[in-house]
């Protein structure tokens, strides 16, 4: 059993990304914290915004109407497949998708008023280098804000899936999955901002509630294999996949209402600092 991850981990190399599947697997949970992220970054009318690890453009889609025609949003992602998907999804003159590594951004110093990174920094091989680059490309006095995952037990929609698969995984696959929670310690996130030279540093733990209409609605995008954890799931044998599905269903039954709706509270961390 092996998994061939593409750059950025969430899209298989050379395989088109279904915006719909990605939205149903990750976007509907990610967007719960995007307003908090944009507020932490002080995104406002006429801002020049860089969205690092933009993915299919979830955070950018909410930033565009805020900056308006006097501003713009650049979406940078290391995955060409993600950039292509974002370009198709956000056909907006204010959004410019760029295929770029967040640890080596192709922009001049001080190019942006704000830099945001929604659920991306935890996957960087060198998180400190990423934050240093974010600081370099934001103007003096500008703000950088990142949103990262809390511990897996605080994110039941992803944590239970990862945990249920654990018995079937290679050590290499485990190492990739635990990256999701690698910045769950607020003190570590604060330390990274401090080491990068930021001022007025804040790390906030936020809890938001989301829901899906049924377990089938929750599970369908996982079967499409878009995203880091679903890709590992797809590498399992059929019998193992069947066991994992049943186990995750059992675990998530505690969040299920009489009509089958799943409602879960999720926790994320938002770190921010002024350059």
Q: Note whether residue 218 is domain-resident.
A: yes
Q: Which domain holds residue 29?
A: 19-274
pLDDT digits (tens, 9 = 90+) for 6-55: 454 455 555 656 677 778 888 889 999 999 999 999 999 999 999 999 98
User: How are strands ordered across the β-sheet holding 72-77?
Assistant: 95-99, 72-77, 48-52, 112-118, 138-149, 262-274, 199-212
Q: Is residue 196 part of a domain?
A: yes
CATH of the domain at 48: 3.40.50.150
CB 148 within 8 Å of CB 269: yes
* Token couple for 212: 């899906």
pLDDT the model gives residue 13 = 56
The whole-model pTM stands at 0.92
In a domain, 94, yes or no: yes
Q: Is 80 among the domain residues?
A: yes
| Domain tally, the chain | 1
Is 36 contained in some domain? Answer: yes
Residue 175: inside a domain, yes or no?
yes
The predicted-structure confidence for 238-266, as pLDDT tens digits, reads as follows 999 999 999 999 999 999 999 999 999 99
**Greater pLDDT, 12 or 191:** 191
**Residue 32 covered by a domain:** yes
Q: What pLDDT score does 200 carry?
A: 98
Joined tokens for residue 230:
């679903």
Residue 13 covered by a domain: no
CA distances to 61, 146, 169 from 208, in Å: 19, 17, 30
Kind of pairing between the strands at 72-77 and 48-52:
parallel
pLDDT score at 1: 44
Q: How confident is the model at residue 61 (pLDDT cuts 50, 70, 90)?
A: very high
Interval 128-183: pLDDT, tens: 999 999 999 999 999 999 999 999 999 999 999 999 999 999 888 888 889 999 99
């Amino acid at each position: 059993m092996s998994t061939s991850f593409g750059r950025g981990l969430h899209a298989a190399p050379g395989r088109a990304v279904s915006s719909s599947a990605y939205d149903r697997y990750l976007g509907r949970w990610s967007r719960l914290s995007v307003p908090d992220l944009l507020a932490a970054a002080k995104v406002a009318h006429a801002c020049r915004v860089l969205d690092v690890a933009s993915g299919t453009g979830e955070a950018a889609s909410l930033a565009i109407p805020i900056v308006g025609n006097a501003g713009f949003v650049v979406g940078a992602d290391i995955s060409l497949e993600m950039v292509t998907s974002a370009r198709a999804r956000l056909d907006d003159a204010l959004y410019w998708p760029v295929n770029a590594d967040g640890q080596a951004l192709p922009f001049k110093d001080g190019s942006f008023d704000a830099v945001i990174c929604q659920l991306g920094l935890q996957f960087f091989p060198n998180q400190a280098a990423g934050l240093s680059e974010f600081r370099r490309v934001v103007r003096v006095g500008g703000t950088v804000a990142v949103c990262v995952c809390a511990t897996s037990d605080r994110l039941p929609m992803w944590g239970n899936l990862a945990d249920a698969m654990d018995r079937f995984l290679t050590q290499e696959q485990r190492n990739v999955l635990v990256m999701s929670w690698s910045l769950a310690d607020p003190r570590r996130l604060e330390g990274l901002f401090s080491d990068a030279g930021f001022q007025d540093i804040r790390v906030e733990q936020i809890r938001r509630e989301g829901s899906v209409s049924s377990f089938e609605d929750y599970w369908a995008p996982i079967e499409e294999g878009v995203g880091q954890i679903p890709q590992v799931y797809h590498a399992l044998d059929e019998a193992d996949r069947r066991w994992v599905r049943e186990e995750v269903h059992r675990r998530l039954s505690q969040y299920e209402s009489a009509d089958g709706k799943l409602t879960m509270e999720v926790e994320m961390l938002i770190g921010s600092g002024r350059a």
